[in-house]
Amino acid sequence: MRILVVEDEVDLLRSIAQALREEGYAVDTAANGEDGLLNAENSDYDAIVLDVMMPKMDGWEMLARLRKSKKTPVLLLTARDQSRDRVRGLDTGADDYVVKPFDLPELFARLRALIRRSAGQTRNVIEVGDVTIDVAGRHVARGGEAVPLTAREYALLEYLALHRGELVTRTTLYEHLFDENDSTMSNLLDVHVSNLRKKLGAEFISTRRGHGYCIE
Amino acid sequence: MNDELPMTNAGKDAGAPSSIHHSSFSFFNSIRWRLQIWYGVILVVLLAGFGATAFQLMRGGTYRRVDDELQRRAGELSQLLRQPFRNRGQEGRPGDRPERPFDRPPENQLPDGPPRGRDFNFDRQGPREFHLPDRQAAFFDEADTNGFYFIIWRRDGSELARSTNAPVDAVDFLPRAPMPRPQNNGDGPPKDWIRLPAQLSPHMHGQFREIEMRMPPGERILVGRSITRQLSDLRKTALMLAGTGAGILLLGLLGGWWLASRAIRPIEDISATAAKISRGDLAQRIDVSETESELGRLASVLNSTFARLDAAFTQQRQFTSDAAHELRTPVSVMLTQTQTTLNRERSAAEYRETVESCQRAAQRMRRLIESLLELARLDAGQQPMKHARFDLAQTARDCVAHIEPLAAARHVKITSELPPLPCTGDSERLAQVITNLLTNAITYNKENGEVRIEGETKDGSVILRVSDTGTGISAEDLPRVFDRFYRVDSSRTSGNTGLGLAISKAIVEAHGGQMEVTSEFNVGTAFTIRLPLS
């Protein structure tokens, strides 16, 4: 999952980005609304964490402009907790909001819920055959037994499972699993796929030659 | 009254806010009731006075009419008693008794010697018999129980004549003292002795109105009539007057209540609105549709007071909420940093970075809190200000010297033109203002820009102007630059609290001065301080 964080407070931006990366997300950052809008319009993020009070272009304006072209889920970070501010944010097109100061676990939970909803899922547990994926706890089990996965493997599995039945191209996977600072080589994706097949069964992920991957 | 009491209790039960409104309520504290009571008392006095006077006049009139009738009849009877011989002499026929009203023997008690030209046919007790001639009889309708009656007593008290309808208990009220014997001066009985009968003024005897007359020789005539009908008429009139009075009183009280209610209604509106406002709904205003009355003017005054209160409260609320918002960002930084760092084991460098970041956040909070406290003290007028004479130009030069390194770092040139500027006040506080203006002028300046500080004395004022060649402030932002927490770029990255200009303005105003700003987009901004000349 790839997330854009737009926040003008440098220390806050850095720590949110670090925390999200440690949760297994690919994270891009922007320090003001203009940069944030540029990033958001040029990439398909799974979610955007957006501060409201920013220089150059504030969060509301950036959101309003983004909504002309993108449906990316947006979580507003706001120091303004008055009802009319929250209403304004939600009406402009935000999907959820967190009031500063916030707890990181809550921010993560809200982000997970946003991503899950935008993929059309309602539950935190996805079952594919005898494999269960607990999105909230980031656990994977096969036939009741826990399967240890690396962060990359898990991110790949989660993305494919959330888009179950869809053909997911390699480009899409690159876009959503790796941030702009990742220097990945294309064959790395094949390595993760083959590792997942070893752990969850050869038939678990099917390959469409020249197109991409799919979980049936 | 009975309607009001339970309402009062209900008001008390309804809770604290309404008890402010109702707790002191009693009839004597309610203007409406006081008005009503006064109104009622005045009305009762007026009506009673009017009614009593009208009744008295009417009763007097009735009695007078009756008395006139009685008087006339008594006069007739006394005429008969006084002139017995004229009739007899004219008739000249003995035995023709009915034609003669009196058969009057010579009067022994009359003065010695019969008066000339008169025939005294009286025995010792006066007239022996009495017959009423037809003309006079018509006055005393004996068949009518309400009719007039008469009784004539002889001088010894025995009855001479009595009409049949006279009440049996009719009493002779005249005193029985013997008539004073008039002095005989030789030329007949004195005229007034004959002509002026003693008379008892009309009086009531039960249901009867009577007058009594004493004829000079000693006969007494009582004429009376039953005035039951007149009395019952008077009673009816009295009842009617009382009823009309009560009706008028009732109408008057109702009208008074209506008038009082109308007069009181604006006060009740004002009171209700004030109660709502005291409960915290500061947006309430009194309806001032009747603005021309005294109460309308009061309502207008109150409304403008409420508006000012509302504005002050809104400003205060905005300030508090802004202050809380400003504190939220550094707290968020600290929370996020520490939660992320504590998630797993970190290297010493990572821990150090986190602690440094927390320190920065804490320092920012300290700056903010200090600024807030300073502003709060300035607002409350508690900030201790020195009151000394000093040269503002010297203060400005010191500030320029302090700020020079920052200007050099930004490649901004500071030029100054500072003649002596004698001022009275706190030079440290004003130095804080000047430093703040210089810092802003450098921070928001262009690369290789210029900051100019110049002073002058003019019209009893000391004027200090700090201008820059920066990007300027848009016309939209310009009126708000002195607002608390207002930042032109709506960000917090510059590290300022958004309170600097607000604090500067408050300090200048505490010195009895003013602070103004002018700006031209892409040309520059100029802040002007105007202080009283010392």
pLDDT surpasses 80 at B291: no
The DSSP bridge partners found for residue B457 are: B462
- The domains located in chain A, with CATH, are 2-118 (3.40.50.2300), 125-214 (1.10.10.10)
Chain A hits for B492, CB-CB cut-off 8 Å, are 8-9, 53
Asked if A16 and A47 count as a contact pair (C-beta separation under 8 A), the reply is no
Predicted local distance difference test score (pLDDT) of residue B292? 63
Residue A203 at interface with chain B, using a CB cutoff of 8 Å:
no
pLDDT band for position A183 (50/70/90)? low
pLDDT surpasses 80 at B466: yes
Residues of chain B with pLDDT > 90, as a percent, come to 22
Grouping H, G, I as helix, E, B as strand and the rest as coil, residue A74 is strand
Domain with CATH 3.30.565.10 in chain B: 386-532
CA distances from B434 to A216, B157, B403 (A): 71, 129, 10
Beta carbons of B493 and A102 less than 8 Å apart: no
- Residue B482's closest CA among B516, B436, B521? B516
Architecture category of domain B294-379 in CATH: Orthogonal Bundle (1.10)
Residue A214 at interface with chain B, using a CB cutoff of 8 Å:
no
pLDDT band for position A50 (50/70/90)? very high
Predicted local distance difference test score (pLDDT) of residue B197? 56
Q: Give phi and psi for A201, each to the nearest 5.
A: 110, 140
Least confidently predicted of A47-61, A74-88, B193-207, B300-314: B193-207
pLDDT in tens, B6-65: 443 433 444 444 444 444 456 667 778 888 888 899 999 999 999 999 999 999 998 898
More confident residue, B495 or B147: B147
Q: Is B253 exposed, middle or buried (0-12, 13-18, 19+ CB in 10 A)?
A: middle
Predicted local distance difference test score (pLDDT) of residue B128? 60
Half-sphere exposure for B521 (CA within 13 Å, toward CB): 6
Mean of all residue pLDDT scores within chain A: 87
Residue A91 at interface with chain B, using a CB cutoff of 8 Å:
no
Mean pLDDT comparison of B67-71, B93-97, B248-252, highest-scoring range: B248-252
Least confidently predicted of A107-111, A116-120, B131-135, B303-307: B131-135
pLDDT in tens, B320-368: 877 887 888 889 989 999 998 998 899 999 999 899 989 988 998 998 8
Could you say which DSSP state residue B126 is in? B
Amino acid symbol at B432 = Q
- Residue B230's closest CA among B203, B209, B201? B209
Mean of all residue pLDDT scores within chain B: 77
Predicted local distance difference test score (pLDDT) of residue B322? 78
Beta carbons of A11 and B357 less than 8 Å apart: yes
Residue in the block written with tokens 């993929």: A119
pLDDT band for position B91 (50/70/90)? very low
Predicted local distance difference test score (pLDDT) of residue B379? 80
How far apart (Å, rounded) are the C-alpha atoms in residues B57 and B241?
A: 13
How far apart (Å, rounded) are the C-alpha atoms in residues B308 and A215?
A: 67
pLDDT surpasses 80 at B384: no
Q: Which of A9, A76, A82, A106 to mutate to test the interface with B (most CBs of B within 10 A)?
A: A9
CA B258, distance to chain mean position in Å, is: 14
Rounded to a whole number, what is the largest CA-CA distance in chain A?
A: 53
How far apart (Å, rounded) are the C-alpha atoms in residues B459 and B480?
A: 28
Predicted local distance difference test score (pLDDT) of residue B11? 39
Residue A26 at interface with chain B, using a CB cutoff of 8 Å:
no
Smallest Cβ–Cβ distance between A22 and the set B333, B343, B361 belongs to: B343
Q: Give phi and psi for B481, each to the nearest 5.
A: -65, -25
How far apart (Å, rounded) are the C-alpha atoms in residues B408 and B423?
A: 30
Extract the tokens encoding A72. 């990316």
CA distances from B132 to B101, B197, B226 (A): 6, 20, 21
Residue A129 at interface with chain B, using a CB cutoff of 8 Å:
no
| Alpha-helix runs per DSSP H in A23-103 | 33-42, 59-66, 83-92
Could you say which DSSP state residue B421 is in? -
Enumerate residues 6+ apart whose C-beta is below 8 A from B330: B361, B362, B364, B365, B368
Average pLDDT estimate for A64-87? 87
Predicted local distance difference test score (pLDDT) of residue B4? 41
pLDDT band for position B176 (50/70/90)? low
Domain with CATH 1.10.287.130 in chain B: 294-379
Predicted local distance difference test score (pLDDT) of residue A8? 86
Residue in the block written with tokens 């008295």: B56
How close does chain B come to A178, measured CA to CA in Å?
21
- At what angle are helices B228-278 and B294-342 packed, to 10 degrees? 30
Enumerate residues 6+ apart whose C-beta is below 8 A from A152: A177, A192
pLDDT in tens, B301-316: 888 888 888 888 888 8
Predicted local distance difference test score (pLDDT) of residue B97? 41
Domain B386-532 grouped into CATH 3.30.565.10? yes
Total beta-carbon pairs less than 8 A apart between chain A and chain B: 73
Average pLDDT estimate for B454-459? 90
Predicted local distance difference test score (pLDDT) of residue B98? 41
Q: What is the ipTM of this complex?
A: 0.79
Asked if B505 and B482 count as a contact pair (C-beta separation under 8 A), the reply is yes
Beta carbons of B493 and A18 less than 8 Å apart: no
Other residues' Cβ atoms within 10 Å of the Cβ of residue A100: 24
